[in-house]
Amino acid sequence: MLTACTLFYANISQAQTSSAKRHIIVDVGHGQRFYSAPGTSTGNDVAPVERVNYITGEVEKNAGSLNAKVSYLKTAITAESLAKSDVLFMHIPSSKFSPAEVKAIHEYLRKGGSLFLVMDVDYWSTLAQTNVNDLISPYGITYKHDNPDTETNGGYAKAGPVTAGRLSIPYHGARIVEGGSPFCFSNTTQDHPFGVYKALDGGGKIIVMGDGMVSLYMAEWKGVTYPCAEFMQHAFAWLLN
């Protein structure tokens, strides 16, 4: 898995990089189950320090190849904390965002900031625990219930603005996402997309995912290898440009 990732990063096209340094902020202040700042654990057994270091290391490789830096926000989200950010990345929050935080994120998006939001099935975080729909519903995107297809293993991102070609990505279960432009589906049906994107009028962009495996860089699942780093590279590149 690591060898494949290393080869991928070594062959990234220079055309994807930007001349100006960009900034990705990773929110780790809302009960995330897997993400934390490098060198720390999430405080639960699903993401000890070594696992956190792996996934944040992969994020930073993606960012570095796009001439972007990464920082980790442990405190409340404010207009000031977002002022120099190009992308706000949130992975499976499990606590609520305050009205002030929701307002700051909407203002950030209105001014051209981008959002990469990931949720998963109720086992990890429910819509009663976290008000993520308050962040995305004004843009016509909504998280719904768990996908009824719990048997399929494996999915894909179709060719389009985010991924230039079709990419296989890990999938199992997931939360349905409605609205936006669907681009991620299970291998068996397009009836319940688990990934959508939207470009906003002010220049901002949104990617909303209902399965967290690809953004956890789970490059091998059920004996199948997936190009997770490549998917994340394309996702961050689209959000940054």
Residue 161 scores a pLDDT above 50: yes
pTM of the full predicted structure? Answer: 0.92
- Which of 37, 34, 30 is CA-nearest to residue 51? 34
Cα–Cα distance measured from residue 21 to residue 49, given in angstroms and rounded to the nearest whole number: 28
Residue 9 scores a pLDDT above 90: no
* C-alpha pair distances (Å), 207 with each of 2, 25, 90: 26, 15, 11
User: pLDDT tens digits, residue range 38-49?
Assistant: 999 998 889 999
User: pLDDT tens digits, residue range 107-140?
Assistant: 999 999 999 999 999 999 999 999 999 999 999 9
User: pLDDT tens digits, residue range 207-216?
Assistant: 999 999 999 9
The chain-wide mean pLDDT, for the chain, equals: 92
Delimit the domains of the chain by residue range: 2-13+21-240
Domain 2-13+21-240 top-level CATH class: alpha beta
Residue 16 scores a pLDDT above 50: no
